Amino acid sequence: METPQRLAAVYNMLDRSELNSRLILIPPRLASLAEIETVHSPKYIEKILNTAGEPQRYLDPDTVTSEHTCEAAFLAAGGIFEAVKYVLKDELDNAFALIRPPGHHAEQDRQMGFCIFNNIALAAEYARRQFGLTRILIVDWDVHHCNGTQHIFEKSPEVLLFSTHRIPFFPGTGNYNEIGLEDGRGFTVNVPLTPQKGDAEFARIYREILVPVALEFQPELILVSAGFDTHHDDPIGGMRVSEHGYSYLTHLLCETAEKTCQGKIVFMLEGGYDLVAMRKSIHAVLKTLLDGIAEIIEEKIEHDLQNSSSVSDIIRDVIETHKPYWKCFSNV
């Protein structure tokens, strides 16, 4: 269940962290109706507006609103717009939007899985419309597949979506052969995983699939849906990623951003259901963004990669599926 304690736990950690003095707070703002309409239908937005002030409404069995959910959703979207603006205007090197409600399950015309507005899709549309970007990479490492993000951009060659997620699992989408539609074929890269995959497996997937495709795509901005429910202590995820693993993935993404878009990368919070694990993981990501160094020794990753054969088959399947669309896989 979505609870305010998630953000409260993170803020308490930051208040006591040595990182606090090095962080710059980006003031959020309310998104406008016109901005939300770049992704969501007017009828759906009206549905969310009608929940304002109600103590509780069940929009579906998973997604429940309070009297302040509507305002929080508009602030979350406006906050991510501000983060993108600061980074694209070179006022900040990178950003992490600690926002709730989460977003990647939200479809154009309905809520889903705790998500009200699709924050990362809105961020991509904001970058396209306000800054004229035509190549945006979205990376999603949440344990659940980003069905909403995929459906919103599945026909667009301007947004490359890369997602690692558990399958079979909620929401039931995200097989490797879901690659996009029409002009967007090849621009959706799904890597579905069975449980118990950890740092080495994720590192290998990112290095062998994501990095080559991203370098070929040459994004002008990288957006990251950062869910921490793949952590080994998460009660529902069933994966084995550590906070050091998130640090390493962040380092790989930052290196890729440096090679393609002058380091322009924006993270935003998605899932994560163990508060201690989420605090430690966010701290590791923030420290990596600030220092540019992963909290894991490269030699350890190289050693662990030798024991990551459990993802060999899915890496092969994904690469074979995408060979017609990406030159980087032609000789693999």
319, pLDDT greater than 80: yes
Q: SS3 sequence, the chain?
A: CCCCHHHHHHHHHHHHCCCHHHCCCCCCCCCCHHHHCCCCCHHHHHHHHCCCCCCCEECCCCCEECCCHHHHHHHHHHHHHHHHHHHHCCCCCEEEECCCCCCCCCECCECECCECCCHHHHHHHHHHHHHCCCCEEEEECCCCCCHHHHHHHCCCCCEEEEEEEECCCCCCCCCCCCCCCHHHCCCEEEEEECCCCEHHHHHHHHHHHHHHHHHHHCCCEEEEEECCCCECCCCCCCCEECHHHHHHHHHHHHHHHHHHCCCCEEEEECCCCCHHHHHHHHHHHHHHHHHCCCCCCHHHHHHHHCCCHHHHHHHHHHHHHHCCCCHHHCCC
Q: Report whether pLDDT(160) > 90.
A: yes
pLDDT at 1: 62
Q: Does pLDDT of 74 surpass 90? A: yes
Q: What does the pLDDT look like over 225-253, one tens digit per residue?
A: 999 999 999 999 999 999 999 999 999 99
Q: Has residue 312 been placed in a domain?
A: yes
pLDDT in tens, 298-318: 667 666 776 678 899 999 999
Task: Determine the pLDDT at residue 293.
Answer: 80
Task: Catalogue the active-site residues.
Answer: 105
For residue 53, being part of any structural domain is answered with yes
Q: Is the pLDDT of residue 55 over 90?
A: yes
Could you tell me if residue 228 is inside a domain?
yes
Structural domain contains residue 14: no
Flag whether pLDDT at 297 surpasses 70: no
Q: Is pLDDT above 90 for 151? A: yes
In a domain, 166, yes or no: yes
Distance set, CA 112 to CA 63, 123, 147, 305 (Å): 6, 19, 9, 35
Quote the domain boundaries for residue 230. 23-329
Q: What is the pLDDT of residue 3?
A: 73
Q: CA 152, CA 118: separation in Å to the nearest integer?
A: 9
**Does 309 map to a domain?**
yes
CB atoms within 10 A of CB 24: 8
pLDDT of residue 298: 64
| Whole-angstrom distance, CA of residue 43 vs CA of residue 49 | 10
Q: pLDDT grade, residue 5 (50/70/90)? A: confident
For the stretch 261-286, pLDDT in tens is 999 999 999 999 999 999 999 999 99
Instruction: Tell whether 274 is covered by a domain.
Output: yes
Q: Is 15 inside a domain boundary?
A: no
At 82-122, the pLDDT tens digits run 999 999 999 999 999 999 999 999 999 999 999 999 999 99
pLDDT digits (tens, 9 = 90+) for 179-196: 999 999 999 999 999 999
Q: Give the CATH number, domain containing residue 213.
A: 3.40.800.20
What is the pTM (predicted TM-score) of this model? 0.96
**What does the mean pLDDT of the chain come to?**
95
**Total number of domains constituting the chain:** 1
